Structure 1
């Protein structure tokens, strides 16, 4: 319901605007018909002469009682009084005529339509002021679900009893710390209110306190009743690796804030996250989009199109990265797409004969190539936070960097190949591939119908701003097609085909939607908690003045770029993308600009550096998510104990080699060649689009 309300709020103003247009086109002067006008209070049939006489008598009486009347004069202009009353009567008559005209045109159809239109307007207005509450509820409900299902992101999953107790106790301490911080913050704001200071959204404190208290209660219950599927024993050295990353961030930030006497610091930075409630609600929608995509056969059908080409594993990996870049951009961020399609990608690559290490590397990278393409949410956030660049400029440069990264992957994968590159004859593969496109046609039609509906009925194009609204409707339409429109026999055939591919498909639309939403809940809880605490970690960096230790200007632009690149990669290694962007915008961006680095150049370097960080240990977020969807056992079985260093660690080394080469090229070559700089980071001369932050 929260996700659907978010979609409604995001499109509610457009829906209301279209309803007003329909009303005006259907009924002339609908703006008068939509309001419940009250009957005029003036007297319609007045006796003008009687009113003139009454007014003269009142003025004469007032003059008799006024001792200064003789000095000021007692003359009364009867004609002026009559003219004034006649004009007043004309105005009154006009009011009555308009009222009667409007009332005569209010038909049952008008009443029914305006009831819908005014209800939409009221809902948008009333609910629009509670986006922070929606995000707060979404985060806490999903965090509780992720805690119950042990779905938080960590370096390794819990397997043993010792893992369980170490992880849950650490979570309990962190959640109690969050609850205490929220309580102290509420008390501080109550003192501010008592001093006459205005405090906004004070009611949210109750929800934060109750939510973190619930998380702590879940941890206590888990300690009292540990799961029965845990293996006995365990290693003290490995157990801390099962502590969720958000817990490490919370303990680090909370401890630092307490040492500074800033006990409510974490809650203050959570409030800063609420200032970007619209963007984080959109992120939740993107996760829902990814999970609904996972419930469809669309990804499987697209892979089927490439099977007749019988490509060598390395070439197939390259094609997979090119194809998956677009859905990555449309699902908001790299990690979401890995969660949504990682299992299918890995199984298809293994079926084609790819090495397990290379299949894992490609699966982790499948979410990295498209983050610079339209309409990726991460790029929209950068443009929203920084006035120096626009989404059009970022996406224009991003497209060029995408092709550079793809070329680098192709080169590295070919150098590391274990067999001769191959591809089926064109005349043999093309007809078979075209034949396999036929099952995709209904999906294309469903997508086109939804996009055209938004374009011509709601006057909303599919772009980076409308994607979070339109894409959930697109995926709902696809699910309806798969589970309600296609025949029972075809549906059972799809389920059997999926089972042969090792994928379990729901049998009903309700089951598919519920499964997608259940998975969405856990992933939202895991990612939003990580992002929320990343903002607090960013607060530590701000308060400790680490960035202030960097000089405002450097002896050379090369040295400035080198230090910034190292810093950005380190941030990407330990923080989620959205929290990292907020931190970089607040602390590092201005240093880059002061040293002569163009804003567009800096932000493209930032995006590539972040992606390198997400693929680089010790955290390597994309690899953690790959492990989560592929399976811990599969990842463990893919490990090699013999062979070259590259072969044993290819799943890390291949992505690092590609993204590091891309980063060095994007960061430094444009500094050496002005022509390359101007081409790669070309300013787009278009009117800036306003991006609502809330």
Structure 2
């Protein structure tokens, strides 16, 4: 989880030169992410082009292909055709008598021929009409429309390939930059050797499993399509490159590591994906199912669009870090001179909406955690409080529209809909927000509530709102363009493709408005805007490592879910309970544990296939169950020993800040506030969400 290499490369990039990493990793990743946005947007453009074509040329759907001239004769002589048909019938009269057939009626023959001639004339008339309408303008419009249609088809077929390439490319980058998610950073030579050795073993295990999976697929009786074979080959090449990258890193010990080290601490420096891989790989090998990891990683392809959306959300967050937007938002509250505890509450509440649009709390912590932490520290918040607020900054927004996680739940479970989940999510958000506010402002409050006078603070606050107006207009402009130009509303389905465009528009606005201007930060140091190209480049540099660390963890989390599924652990529990209260108690324990060891998306897939059915059959309402699930997951992400959101917080704010916070003195609560405060807030919220509704509908 060390970021020293990353920071070194980033600084060199900002100095003006492009590093090898930018050419080999960041640029391809940027192109892949842009391709995802382009493919998803092209469908909206195509729909509008079809509507526009119909409005410009009535019956445009007939003009989408060149008409074929009918081969029939529209000027056929009906009388001659009738006579010929009757003559043919008289020649066969003897045979008809033998077979007992009735003689043809001349009137019926004429009506049949007249009907045939009329249909032929209509076909020719339609052909001439379409041919006459095929003007050069129509042909040009049609060429563009058909090109976009082909682009959409290609994009849909390419989603799985883009995902595999993106995961492998970014995973190699995360390995080379030592940016994988672990319990602690590599600090000693022993940490490095143990971590990279186990990473190499795990990557070799992934490579071997993929090879066996490919061999088993080719050895099966069913035919293997070229597309499926290409996916197998991409996984194999990717894991081969990942194994070589970890082996190279193992041999090349970086400078600056302390000599020696402790084995126990070194094991904590092993990335979480490595631990998951070793566990699942060992289990599958023991049961004679060595291809297991490859199979469950292949299941990622079934939800390729979802995992690509995760990558887009991370990219959006990294671009957000390059803007002044977060600082300007905090400037609005600064005139009130809020105590740190109240400002932490404001920060967490402000983060609700962007969290909902980034899909999951962990993604938001990666995307905006550093900004929130730095702003809280600049406002005077102690490190422990700032770390607690940063870790919890994404925990309240996962139940708010248009969170991707809720969309996935509704997609996998027909018992619930997004409208129902988001409707009740508002109440869950209100509860968790009130609970966090109560804990932050009452437990271990160390500051006096001496807010600035309204006469002083309000004018300054209004003045701080003015710089935000152009940003609001830019965002509204993009949203309105999609709404009126492409008939696309901003919702949980369109957000992944709209947000990158919005952030590009904001970066372009800053590039134009701040070009040539020199500003000063709170310390009086000069800040020169780095421009659009460098902003996008810096955001993509950060994105590649973060996507590699996160998506590889997501993939191996699905594999751990496979271990739980194959081991039939859930079958050891009753498949239904007589009491909904007993079932809920068990559900809470299981869901919190899953939140500790799995990512949100992988855990939702597993829960949908196992735990959910037990809850439903025990009398727990589906909406209630999934609200409990979301809150339990968030508690799990904040709970030791793993505490994923805290690990992500440490990754974005830096190891030095966490170490400095741990060295601060005070009471037990003060020394561990970053862990205890979120646990109290989310723990109490979970108990209330889980058991209070049962009072109203459980027997």
- TM-score if structure 2 supplies the norm length? 0.90
Q: CA deviation at 1:96?
A: 2.4
In structure 1, distance between residues paired with 2:99 and 2:357: 83
Q: Which residue of 2 aligns with 1:590?
A: 613
In structure 2, distance between residues paired with 1:256 and 1:48: 81
Q: Which moved further from structure 2: 649-658 or 449-458?
A: 449-458
Query: Cα deviations across residues 300-352 of structure 1 (Å, max 9, x unaligned)?
Result: 10011111000111111111111111111111111222122222211221222
1:604-615 paired onto structure 2 within 5 Å: 604-615=627-638
Match for residue 428 of structure 1 among 453, 456, 461: 456
Query: Cα deviations across residues 50-74 of structure 1 (Å, max 9, x unaligned)?
Result: 766776777788x59x978865679
Change (3 A) 1:60 1:516: farther
Q: Which residue of 2 aligns with 1:238?
A: 265
Q: Which residue of 1 aligns with 2:691?
A: 668
Q: Which moved further from structure 2: 85-94 or 396-405?
A: 85-94
Q: Does 1:268 align with 2:291?
A: no
Match for residue 279 of structure 2 among 217, 231, 252: 252
* Structure 1 residue matching 2:516: 3-state secondary structure: helix
Change (3 A) 1:54 1:355: same
In structure 1, distance between residues paired with 2:279 and 2:255: 31
Q: CA deviation at 1:102?
A: 1.7
1:209-224 paired onto structure 2 within 5 Å: 209-224=236-251
In structure 1, distance between residues paired with 2:239 and 2:88: 71
Q: Is the 8 A contact 1:295 1:505 kept in 2?
A: no
Q: Is the 8 A contact 2:206 2:239 kept in 1?
A: yes
Match for residue 441 of structure 1 among 447, 469, 483: 469
In structure 2, distance between residues paired with 1:128 and 1:290: 25
Q: Is the 8 A contact 2:89 2:103 kept in 1?
A: no
Q: Does 1:517 align with 2:540?
A: yes
Query: Cα deviations across residues 408-450 of structure 1 (Å, max 9, x unaligned)?
Result: 2222222211122221111210110000111100000011011
Q: Which residue of 1 aligns with 2:488?
A: 460
Q: Which moved further from structure 2: 544-553 or 304-313?
A: 544-553
Q: CA deviation at 1:548?
A: 1.2
Q: Which residue of 2 aligns with 1:390?
A: 417
* Structure 2 residue matching 1:201: 3-state secondary structure: helix
Match for residue 648 of structure 1 among 665, 671, 691: 671
Q: Which residue of 1 aligns with 2:437?
A: 410
Q: Which residue of 2 aligns with 1:684?
A: none
Q: How many positions carry a matched residue from both structures?
A: 668
Q: Which residue of 2 aligns with 1:681?
A: none
Q: CA deviation at 1:531?
A: 0.8
Q: Is the 8 A contact 1:189 1:199 kept in 2?
A: no
Change (3 A) 1:583 1:438: same
Change (3 A) 1:601 1:227: same
Q: Which runs of 5+ in 1 are unaligned?
A: 679-694
Change (3 A) 1:663 1:73: closer
Q: Which residue of 2 aligns with 1:313?
A: 340
Change (3 A) 1:669 1:97: closer
Match for residue 478 of structure 2 among 428, 437, 450: 450
Q: CA deviation at 1:147?
A: 1.6
Match for residue 530 of structure 2 among 494, 507, 514: 507
Q: Which moved further from structure 2: 436-445 or 663-672?
A: 663-672
Query: Cα deviations across residues 596-619 of structure 1 (Å, max 9, x unaligned)?
Result: 211111111111111111111111
Q: Which residue of 1 aligns with 2:54?
A: 24
- TM-score if structure 1 supplies the norm length? 0.90
In structure 1, distance between residues paired with 2:175 and 2:529: 25
In structure 2, distance between residues paired with 1:6 and 1:69: 72
In structure 2, distance between residues paired with 1:634 and 1:238: 19
Q: CA deviation at 1:178?
A: 1.1
In structure 1, distance between residues paired with 2:266 and 2:587: 34
Q: CA deviation at 1:76?
A: 7.4
In structure 1, distance between residues paired with 2:234 and 2:107: 69
Q: CA deviation at 1:363?
A: 1.0
Q: Which runs of 5+ in 2 are unaligned?
A: 1-30
1:615-694 paired onto structure 2 within 5 Å: 615-640=638-663, 642-673=665-696
Q: CA deviation at 1:525?
A: 1.2
Q: Which residue of 2 aligns with 1:489?
A: 516
Change (3 A) 1:287 1:498: farther
Q: CA deviation at 1:290?
A: 1.0
Q: Does 1:366 align with 2:389?
A: no
Change (3 A) 1:501 1:284: farther
Query: Cα deviations across residues 35-57 of structure 1 (Å, max 9, x unaligned)?
Result: 22123333455566776677677
* Structure 2 residue matching 1:551: 3-state secondary structure: coil
